[in-house]
């Protein structure tokens, strides 16, 4: 075995613990030796001083006898030198002083030895603390290594995500460019279609004019032939019974021709009339162009004066989740509500309370809009499952599903013509439907998200996400007018006389548009009124005197349409944003629904 401080000699595995102990002892020896390197020289220096003092004391013990003999021989010298001898200390005083210094040195040595013991104890404590901190340092270094590894992984993921973002951004730019090209191509095709339609009209008009000329020539030829036959017949005498059939026909045609000739300008008026009406379209149910609808709903009695609501009569938690849509029937006693729970509830308004009538099931998604036809026998709802559905009052399950949109349907309204409806969707289209065959008779590309639609006699009005209201003639293919507003349009309401339009938008304003001059007549604002969502609905009163809307804080705001003044503010039952409101056709009740499942009946 090697010496205590020498190098270790490799041995069998069983002696590994011995070498470990030796290394630990060597480490402790080096550590303690380093700590005592300063104390040992000081202690040796003190010992050297003690030896010098001991030698000096021995010399002082021998010096008193020599000093006494010298005093006897040289007494006179002592007397002469006494002033100087007073300045040299005596041996006794030196001995006392040496003893005092020796005692002090002993005390110092004792104190130093005590300090050495204390330092040794403190050294052990510091050694334990050092070992503890070294252990913590090792643990922290391991933790730092783990965090650095995790940071490297996160940095790699960030780089990968950045690369994906760059790729997606490039793909988005490509799609945006492609969309721009497609929109430009669409506009070009629309312009080309418009030109082709104008050209077709011109060709039809030209063909009609040519046909009129050919008819006029044929009539003139027939007239000339009849004149010749009459001249021939006038030269001979025959009985009336012997007139041939062809001659009677010719006489009748000639008589008609002469009658037409007797009326100056009759042929020209006929030709002009045919020029003005070169061709006509056949009437079709659901999409008639240039003709009067065959069947229309009976007119609804007009409300003379609506009553301002002032108090809540009934409050119900009507649905399992948010209530989005509400609509009164034409008789003001039937109410329909639709919500995010995919259900439509029908309610009877009896004695100032809402009584459950029926639940319509089968909707494929959340209800976004509800409408009842003017007869009160059918319910039409727009849903999130890219379709609109039709129910018959009294039947629980859906009668028809109007599918064809590519995104959620946000609005569905009946037209005044029977068996026809209009829907608007987030896929930027407005569709007209023949409800008798559940067939889409027309698709209108609106170029923006459609949030709501309303229908007049021959007009469709749509409100869009690009802050515009568009007007479409149901008898023509193109948009007839665009009115810009400030803010995304959330709802539209058409007055019963179809002369005024009420719009609600996300700029927290309501606007009344006079359709006779296509101009904004009034803008309604109020402190505290905020449009709570993209489907917040506002309505006219039945007599068009008031405008009603719900705010994000659950309050209802009513404005006077003629003066623009805030007429009333209703607060209380609603604790969440009001999604939609409805005013009964009789003008006596108002119903509001909110995001907190509440349906409130006001009077």
- List pLDDT tens digits, range 267-320: 334 433 433 333 333 333 434 434 444 567 665 556 768 889 999 999 999 999
* pLDDT classification of 91: cutoffs 50, 70, 90: confident
Question: In the structure, what pLDDT confidence band is assigned to residue 84 with cuts at 50, 70 and 90?
Answer: very low
> 310-369 pLDDT, tens per residue?
999 999 999 999 999 999 999 889 999 999 999 999 999 998 899 999 999 988 899 999
CA–CA–CA angle 290, 296, 302 (5° rounding)? 120
Start-to-end Cα distance in the chain: 109
Q: Determine the average pLDDT of the residues in 89-110.
A: 79
Element (H, E) at 567: strand 566-570
pLDDT interval class at 236 (50, 70, 90) = low
Report the pLDDT value the prediction gives residue 600, as an integer from 0 to 100.
96
Residue that has been written with the tokens 């492609």 in this structure? 178
**What is the predicted pLDDT for the residue at 1?**
42
- Other residues' Cβ atoms within 10 Å of the Cβ of residue 505: 23
pLDDT tens digits for 366-407?
A: 999 999 998 889 999 999 999 999 999 988 888 889 999 999
Give the range among 35-39, 195-199, 400-404 with minimum mean pLDDT.
35-39
Cα–Cα dist 51/410, whole Å:
112
The first and second tokens of residue 175, run together, are: 């799609």
- The pLDDT tens digits for 115-152 are 888 888 888 888 888 889 988 999 999 999 999 999 99
List, in sequence order, every beta strand (DSSP E) within 40-154: none
- φ and ψ at residue 388, rounded to 5 degrees: -115, 150
Cβ neighbors of 3 (< 8 A, separation 6 or more) are: none
How far apart are alpha carbons 120 and 124 in whole angstroms? 6
pLDDT in tens, 462-478: 999 999 999 998 777 78
pLDDT at residue 40 above 70? yes
Structure tokens at 313: 């009569």
Whether the pLDDT of residue 508 is over 50: the answer is yes
Given the structure tokens 């006779």, which residue do they identify? 516
Average pLDDT, the chain: 82
Band (9; pLDDT cuts 50, 70, 90): very low
Closest CA to 506 of 444, 552, 540, 462: 552
The pLDDT of residue 266:
41
Least confident window among 83-92, 226-235, 247-256, 447-456 = 247-256
Distances, alpha carbon 578 to alpha carbons 426, 439, 537, in Å = 22, 34, 9
63 or 181: which carries more pLDDT confidence? Answer: 181
Alpha-carbon span 597 to 339, nearest angstrom: 8
The pLDDT value recorded for residue 362 is 86
What pLDDT score does 14 carry? 54
Adjacency order of strands within the sheet including 323-328: 323-328, 334-339, 344-350, 353-360
pLDDT at 163 over 60: yes
Q: What is the DSSP string of 29-68?
A: HHHHHHHHTTHHHHHHHHHHHHHHHHHHHHHHHHHHHHHH
Nearest to 558 by CA among 510, 486, 506: 510
- Tell me what percent of the residues of the chain surpass a pLDDT of 90: 47
Query: Which pLDDT tens digit goes with each residue over 401-460?
Result: 999 999 999 999 999 888 899 999 999 999 999 998 888 999 999 889 999 999 988 899
Phi and psi based region of residue 572 (left: phi greater than 0; alpha: psi -120 to 50; beta: remaining): left
Distance CA 268, CA 210 (A): 13
- What pLDDT does residue 13 have? 56
Residue 394 CA to residue 360 CA, distance in Å, equals 9
- Surface-to-core class of residue 87, CB atoms within 10 Å of its CB (0-12 exposed, 13-18 middle, 19+ buried): exposed
Predicted local confidence at residue 8, as pLDDT: 46
Could you tell me which residues come within 8 angstroms of residue 301 by beta carbon, excluding any fewer than 6 positions away?
A: 585
Least confident of 32-41, 386-395, 415-424, 583-592: 32-41
The DSSP H or E segment spanning 380 is: strand 378-383
359 and 351 Cβ atoms separated by less than 8 Å: no
Cα separation of 214 and 331, whole Å? 58
pLDDT recorded at residue 285? 40
Residue 26 binned pLDDT confidence (cut-offs 50, 70, 90): confident
Q: The pTM is what?
A: 0.54
CATH of 319-602, one of 2.130.10.10, 1.10.150.170, 3.40.1390.10, 3.10.180.10: 2.130.10.10
């Amino acid at each position: 075995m090697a010496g205590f401080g020498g190098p270790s000699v490799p041995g069998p595995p069983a002696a590994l613990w011995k070498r470990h102990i030796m290394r630990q002892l060597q480490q402790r020896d080096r550590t303690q030796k380093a700590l005592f390197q300063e104390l040992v020289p000081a202690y040796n220096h003190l010992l050297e001083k003690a030896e010098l003092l001991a030698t000096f004391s021995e010399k002082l013990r021998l010096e008193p006898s020599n000093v006494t003999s010298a005093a006897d021989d040289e007494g006179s010298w002592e007397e002469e030198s006494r002033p100087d001898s007073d300045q040299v200390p005596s041996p006794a005083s030196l001995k006392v002083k040496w003893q005092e210094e020796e005692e002090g040195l002993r005390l110092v040595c004792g104190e130093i030895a005590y300090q050495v013991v204390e330092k040794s104890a403190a050294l052990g404590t510091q050694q334990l603390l050092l070992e503890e901190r070294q252990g913590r340092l090792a643990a922290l270094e391991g933790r730092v290594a783990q965090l650095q590894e995790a940071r490297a992984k996160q940095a790699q993921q960030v780089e990968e995500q950045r690369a994906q973002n760059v790729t997606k951004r490039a793909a988005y730019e490509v799609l945006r460019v492609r969309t721009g090209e497609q929109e430009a191509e669409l506009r070009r095709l629309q312009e080309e279609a418009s030109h082709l339609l104008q050209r077709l009209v011109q060709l039809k008009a030209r063909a009609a004019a040519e046909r009129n000329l050919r008819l006029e020539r044929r009539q003139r030829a027939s007239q000339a032939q009849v004149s010749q036959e009459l001249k021939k017949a006038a030269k001979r005498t025959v009985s009336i019974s012997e007139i041939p059939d062809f001659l009677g026909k010719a006489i009748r045609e000639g008589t008609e021709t002469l009658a037409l000739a007797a009326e100056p300008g009759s042929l020209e008026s006929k030709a002009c009339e045919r020029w003005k009406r070169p061709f006509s379209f056949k009437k079709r149910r659901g999409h008639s162009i240039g003709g009067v609808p065959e069947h229309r709903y009976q007119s609804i009695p007009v409300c003379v004066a609506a009553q301002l609501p002032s108090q809540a009569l009934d409050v119900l938690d009507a649905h399992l989740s948010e209530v989005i849509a509400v609509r009164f029937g034409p008789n003001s006693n039937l109410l329909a509500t639709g919500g995010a729970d995919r259900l439509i509830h029908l309610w009877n308004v009896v004695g100032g309370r809402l009584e459950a009538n029926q639940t319509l099931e089968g909707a494929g998604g959340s209800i976004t809009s509800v409408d009842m036809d003017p007869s009160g026998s059918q319910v039409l709802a727009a849903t999130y499952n890219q379709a609109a559905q039709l129910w018959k009052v009294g039947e629980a399950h859906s009668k028809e599903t109007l599918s064809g949109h590519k995104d959620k349907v946000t609005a569905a309204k009946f037209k005044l013509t029977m068996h026809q409806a209009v829907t608007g969707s987030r896929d930027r289209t407005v569709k007209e439907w023949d409800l008798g065959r559940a067939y889409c008779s027309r698709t209108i590309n609106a170029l923006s998200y459609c949030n709501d639609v309303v229908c007049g006699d021959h007009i469709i009005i749509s409100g869009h996400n690009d802050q515009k209201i568009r007007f479409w003639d149901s008898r023509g293919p193109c948009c007839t007018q665009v009115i810009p507003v400030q803010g995304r349009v959330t709802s539209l309401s058409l007055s019963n006389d179809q002369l005024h339009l009420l719009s609600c938008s996300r700029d927290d304003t309501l606007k009344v548009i006079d359709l006779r001059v296509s101009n904004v007549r009034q803008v309604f604002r109020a402190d505290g009124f905020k449009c709570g969502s993209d489907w917040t609905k506002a309505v006219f009163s039945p007599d068009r005197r008031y405008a009603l809307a719900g705010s994000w804080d659950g309050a209802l705001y009513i404005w006077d349409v003629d003066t623009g003044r805030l007429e009333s503010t209703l607060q209380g039952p609603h604790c969440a944003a009001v999604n939609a409101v409805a005013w009964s056709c009789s003008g006596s009740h108002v119903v509001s629904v909110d995001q907190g499942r509440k349906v409130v009946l006001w009077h």
